[in-house]
C-alpha cells in the first residue's frame, strides 16, 4: 500500500473520523444511469451502488473488511440484483477457514484467496487489483474457485476541470473469457471501469471516460492481433479441400455423403461427389462428420470478447442490433481484416426516444426531423437495418419506417410503449424482436412496455393464452399478410421464467461445466423474482412461448434465430428450443443459415455451401439434421476461407473443449 494511503488510514484510525466519501458516476450508452459511493471508516470500506437500466438494475450496500494482504476477511452485501431479486451475501475468513453464502451458493475452503462476490460493485475489483499487485507473481487464488492475475495494460495523464491526474490501466484475467481492464490512480484507488457500453468514473472525471475506452482498445489491439495470428490458419497457397464430408444443403434440406468442397481464397470454388482435389490444396478429412453452413446469430450486441465465442461455436455471421457506432464500425473492420477473430457483422442502427426508461444509446430522437436525420446517417455508415426501441414516440414509427424503406433499409424493433404489435406491423415494421412483444398484443391494458412489465406481464399471464382464439387467428393472419418476420429470442425468456437461484439455468446446462470457474457462477443466479405461488405459472408461460414459435412456423411466418445473450453457446440453445417448439431439426438449421441470409438479402453470396459463395462453414461431429444438439459439437470452422480449430479457440478463453 502506498505511504499516502497508510498515512490517511492511520489518521482515520487515530481520530475515529469518517473519510470523505468518494463518488463515481455511471453511464450506460452515453447516458447517466447511476453511480457508486465508496466510504472508508477505519479498516472498513462501505460501497453503495445503484443504476437504472430501463427499469432494471441493482441497488446494493456492501461492507468490506480486508486483511493486511488485501484479501477480504469479512464481506456483507444486501439489496437487490439486476432483475430486482433480493440480495443477501456474506463471506468470512476466520481461523484459516473461508465461509461464504449467497442466494445462489454456499461453501467453505481452507484456501486463502480473494473472494469474488456475486453482487459486488466495481470497487471490489479495484480491491482485487490492489491485492494482485502486492501478491507474489501478481497471481492469486480466487474463491470459490479459479485464479486471477494482473498486468499493466497502459497509462496516461488525463485532464478535466483544469486538473490533471496520472492513471494506469491494468488487465485482470480470471474473471471472464478475456481480460477485464480497470483504471487505478497513483495511490491505487479506483479511477474508472470503462467500456463502449458502460462507464463508471470517479467524479469529476466523467468527461474522460471515452478517452479511456479508446486507450484501452488501442493497448489491446496489439495483443488481440497476436491472438488472431495464432488462431487463424490460412491454407497453403490459399487453397483448401474438405473431403469425405456429409454436406447439408439448407435449400433442399438434404445431406449428401462423400462430398468434396474446394475453397480458393475466400470463395468456394467447387462442391460435389466427383470433384478433383487440387494438388496444392491443404486437406481436411471430414470423414464421419457433417458440414453445415456457418451459423447466423441474428440478435447480438457485440463486445470485445464476443468474436472468439462466436467463432468457437460455429457462428460466422451476426447481426448487431444496437451498439456504440464508433465501437461497432471499428470492431467489424478488425474482424474483416483479420486483426481480431470474429464473425462477419451486419449492422442495424438503433433509434430510441428520451425518457426515464431510455435504452443505452446516444441516439435519442423526439422529432420527425431528428428521426430522419439518424436514418440517413445510418445508411451513410453502411447499416442495413433500423431498430426502433421502446421509448420512441408512436407517431414517429411510420416516419422512421417510411424513410428507412425509401433508402432500402429494413425496419424492426421492440414494440414502442403505448403501441401493440399490430400497430407496429401496420406502421411499417418488417420484423419484431422478442416473442414477448407478440404475446403482449393480447393484453391492451399493459400499455407502458418500457418497464419490466414487458417481462413480468408475460410471465404471469402467458400460460392462459389461447392461440386458437379468433383474436389470435386475426393477429397471425396480419403477420402473414405483411410478411412480418419474428426474431423470438426464446432462450432469454427461458432464463427469465424458468431459471432459479442456486440451480444451473437450463439455458446453460449443457455447457456449464466447460466454462471458466468465475463465469460458471453466473449460471446460478436465476431469473425474474417469482411471486409466491407463481412458480408453475412462470414455467407454463415459457411453454406457451414455445407453442407460439411452433405456430408461427406452421403458419409460414419467417423466423430468424437470435440470442441477445451469451454468444455462440446460447444460439445452440435457441436452436434446441425451436426443435422443442415442434420445428424439424433440418428446418431449424435452414433458419439459422440460408434463411437468415435470405431475410437480409445476402443469399446470393452466403448462407449455403455452394460454388461462388463465401467460404463459411462448420465441420461438426454427429448429424444435427436429425439431432439438433449435435450442432454443439463443432470441431472446425471455416470463415472466409480461414480455418479455426474450435478447441484452440476455446482454450484461449479458458473454456474446456467439447468432449
What are the cell numbers at 530?
Answer: 417469482
Cα Rg of the chain (Å, integer): 26
The total of other beta-carbon atoms located within 10 Å of residue 635's CB is 17
What are the cell numbers at 651?
Answer: 482454450
pLDDT at 12: 40
- Encode pLDDT of 317-366 as tens digits: 999 999 999 999 999 999 999 999 999 999 999 999 999 999 989 999 99
What are the cell numbers at 525?
Answer: 443466479
Q: Are the C-beta atoms of residues 26 and 51 closer than 8 Å to each other? A: yes
Query: 3-class DSSP state for residue 603?
Result: coil
> What single DSSP character describes residue 595?
I
Own/partner pairs, 456-460, CB within 8 angstroms, 24+ separation: 456/528, 458/493, 458/541, 458/545, 459/496, 459/497, 459/528, 459/534, 459/537, 459/538, 459/541, 460/531, 460/534, 460/537, 460/538, 460/541
DSSP string, 47-116: EEEEE-BTTB--EEEEEEEE-TTS-EEEEEEEEE-TTS-EEEEEEEEETTEEEEE-SS-EEEES---EE-
- Give the domain ranges of the chain: 3-230, 235-313+601-659, 414-583
- Encode pLDDT of 425-466 as tens digits: 999 999 999 999 999 999 999 999 999 999 999 999 999 999
pLDDT at 279: 95
What are the cell numbers at 340?
Answer: 481480431
- Encode pLDDT of 5-36 as tens digits: 434 344 343 444 567 899 999 999 889 999 99
Q: What is the CATH number of domain 235-313+601-659?
A: 2.30.40.10
pLDDT at 18: 60
User: Which residues partner with 432 through β-bridges?
Assistant: 413, 486
Strands 44-51 and 254-264: unpaired
Alpha-carbon distance values, 236 to 32, 278, 612 (Å): 51, 12, 20
Give me the residues of the chain with pLDDT under 70, please.
Answer: 1-18
Nearest-angstrom CA–CA distance, 260 and 609: 11
**At what angle are helices 569-580 and 535-554 packed, to 10 degrees?**
80
pLDDT at 630: 98
pLDDT at 6: 39
Residues 6+ away with beta carbon under 8 Å from 46: 38, 39, 40, 61, 62, 63, 64
**Is 0.85 surpassed by the pTM of this model?**
yes
Alpha-carbon distance values, 435 to 96, 499, 571, 635 (Å): 50, 18, 16, 32
For residue 264, the number of C-alpha atoms closer than 13 Å in the C-beta half-sphere is 9
In terms of Cα–Cα distance, which of 112, 253, 144, 133 is closest to 189? 133
In terms of Cα–Cα distance, which of 575, 564, 553 is closest to 631? 575
In terms of Cα–Cα distance, which of 364, 307, 357, 361 is closest to 336? 307
Alpha-carbon distance values, 444 to 190, 390, 439, 451, 529 (Å): 47, 16, 11, 15, 24
Amino acid at each position: 500500500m502506498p505511504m499516502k494511503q497508510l498515512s490517511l488510514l492511520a489518521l482515520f484510525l487515530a481520530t475515529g473520523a469518517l473519510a470523505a466519501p468518494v463518488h463515481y458516476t455511471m453511464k450506460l450508452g452515453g447516458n447517466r444511469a447511476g453511480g457508486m459511493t465508496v466510504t472508508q471508516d477505519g479498516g472498513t470500506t462501505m460501497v453503495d451502488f445503484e443504476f437504472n437500466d430501463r427499469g432494471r438494475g441493482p441497488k446494493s450496500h456492501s461492507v468490506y473488511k480486508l486483511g493486511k494482504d488485501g484479501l477480504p476477511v469479512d464481506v456483507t452485501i444486501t439489496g437487490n440484483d439486476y432483475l430486482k431479486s433480493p440480495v443477501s451475501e456474506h463471506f468470512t475468513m476466520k481461523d484459516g477457514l473461508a465461509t461464504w453464502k449467497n442466494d445462489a451458493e454456499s461453501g467453505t475452503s481452507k484456501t486463502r484467496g480473494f473472494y469474488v462476490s456475486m453482487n459486488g460493485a466495481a470497487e471490489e475489483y479495484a480491491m482485487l487489483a490492489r491485492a494482485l499487485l502486492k501478491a507474489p507473481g501478481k497471481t492469486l487464488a480466487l474463491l470459490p474457485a479459479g485464479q486471477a492475475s494482473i498486468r499493466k495494460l497502459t497509462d496516461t495523464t488525463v485532464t478535466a476541470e483544469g486538473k490533471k491526474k496520472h492513471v494506469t490501466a491494468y488487465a485482470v484475467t480470471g474473471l471472464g473469457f478475456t481480460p477485464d481492464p480497470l483504471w487505478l490512480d497513483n495511490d491505487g484507488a479506483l479511477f474508472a471501469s470503462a467500456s463502449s457500453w458502460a462507464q463508471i468514473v470517479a467524479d469529476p472525471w466523467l468527461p474522460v471516460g471515452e478517452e479511456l475506452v479508446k486507450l484501452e482498445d488501442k493497448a489491446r489491439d496489439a495483443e488481440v492481433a497476436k491472438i488472431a495470428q495464432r488462431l487463424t490458419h490460412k491454407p497453403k497457397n490459399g487453397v483448401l479441400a474438405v473431403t469425405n464430408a456429409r454436406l447439408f444443403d439448407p435449400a433442399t434440406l438434404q445431406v449428401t455423403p462423400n462430398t468434396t468442397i474446394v475453397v480458393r481464397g475466400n470463395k468456394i470454388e467447387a462442391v460435389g461427389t466427383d470433384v478433383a482435389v487440387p494438388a496444392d490444396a491443404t486437406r481436411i478429412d471430414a470423414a464421419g462428420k457433417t458440414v453445415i453452413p456457418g451459423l447466423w446469430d441474428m440478435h447480438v450486441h457485440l463486445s470485445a470478447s464476443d468474436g472468439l465465442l462466436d467463432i468457437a461455436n460455429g457462428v460466422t455471421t451476426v447481426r448487431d442490433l444496437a451498439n456504440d457506432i464508433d465501437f461497432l464500425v471499428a470492431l467489424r473492420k478488425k474482424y474483416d481484416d483479420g486483426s481480431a477473430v470474429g464473425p462477419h457483422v451486419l449492422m442495424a442502427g438503433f433509434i430510441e426516444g428520451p425518457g426515464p426508461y431510455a435504452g443505452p444509446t446516444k441516439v435519442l430522437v423526439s422529432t420527425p426531423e431528428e428521426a430522419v436525420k439518424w436514418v440517413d446517417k445510418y445508411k451513410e455508415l453502411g447499416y442495413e437495418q433500423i431498430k426502433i426501441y421502446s421509448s420512441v414516440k408512436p407517431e414517429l414509427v411510420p416516419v422512421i419506417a417510411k424513410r428507412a424503406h425509401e433508402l432500402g433499409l429494413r425496419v424492426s424493433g421492440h414494440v414502442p410503449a403505448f403501441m401493440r404489435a399490430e400497430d407496429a406491423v401496420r406502421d411499417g415494421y418488417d420484423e419484431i424482436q422478442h416473442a414477448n412483444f407478440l404475446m403482449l398484443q393480447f393484453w391492451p391494458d399493459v400499455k407502458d412496455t418500457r418497464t419490466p412489465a414487458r417481462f413480468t406481464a408475460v410471465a404471469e399471464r402467458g400460460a392462459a393464452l389461447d392461440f386458437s382464439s379468433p383474436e389470435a387467428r386475426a393477429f397471425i393472419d396480419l403477420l402473414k399478410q405483411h410478411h412480418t418476420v419474428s426474431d423470438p429470442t426464446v432462450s432469454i425468456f427461458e432464463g427469465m421464467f424458468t431459471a432459479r437461484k442456486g440451480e444451473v439455468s437450463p439455458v446453460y446446462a449443457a455447457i456449464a461445466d466447460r466454462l471458466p470457474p468465475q463465469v460458471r457462477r453466473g449460471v446460478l443466479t436465476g431469473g425474474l423474482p417469482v411471486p409466491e405461488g407463481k412458480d408453475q405459472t412462470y414455467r407454463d408461460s415459457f411453454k406457451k412461448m414455445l407453442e407460439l414459435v411452433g405456430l408461427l412456423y406452421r403458419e409460414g411466418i419467417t423466423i430468424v434465430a437470435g440470442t441477445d445473450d451469451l454468444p455462440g453457446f446460447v444460439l445452440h440453445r435457441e436452436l434446441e428450443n425451436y426443435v422443442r417448439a415442434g420445428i424439424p431439426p433440418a428446418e431449424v438449421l435452414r433458419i439459422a443459415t440460408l434463411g437468415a441470409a435470405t431475410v437480409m438479402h445476402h443469399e446470393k453470396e452466403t448462407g449455403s455451401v455452394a460454388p461462388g459463395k463465401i467460404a463459411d462453414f462448420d465441420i461438426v461431429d454427429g448429424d444435427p439434421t436429425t439431432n439438433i444438439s449435435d450442432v454443439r459439437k463443432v470441431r472446425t470452422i471455416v470463415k472466409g476461407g480461414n480455418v479455426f480449430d474450435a478447441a484452440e479457440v476455446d482454450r484461449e478463453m479458458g473454456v474446456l473443449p467439447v468432449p
